[in-house]
Amino acid sequence: MSGAQTRLIPANTTLLQPGSRFFRVVDALNYQAQSLLASNSQQSQTIANMQTQINTLNSQVATIQSQITALQNEDTNLQNQINTINTRLANAGIP
């Protein structure tokens, strides 16, 4: 651990002398805590990225659903036109 880093667990000057077993344990715990904080930060960023992707996908799904509705409306209009033509043909005596 470099001198510029902040220790999460303060070293007790009477019990935790550099090189002592307890000092090494505190350093190991500090390293683990720093690693967990970094990992948590990375996971938070990953979650934020995934949420952005989910929002993009939800928007795309909404666009597709809107297009499906438009196509269904167009299909209904075409079916109505076909029925109108068939009715006119039948009324004109054309089978």
Q: Report how far apart the first and last C-alpha atoms of the chain are (Å, whole number).
A: 93
Q: Per-residue pLDDT averaged across 52-78, rounded?
A: 96
pLDDT for the residue 32: 86
pLDDT for the residue 21: 66
pLDDT for the residue 75: 97
- Per the model's pLDDT, the better-predicted residue between 14 and 79 turns out to be 79
Could you report the per-residue pLDDT of 7-59, keeping only the tens digit for each?
555 555 455 556 666 667 777 888 888 888 888 888 999 999 999 999 999 99
Global confidence as pTM: 0.55
**Cβ atoms of residues 68 and 38 within 8 Å:** no
Rounded CA separation 68/65 (Å): 5
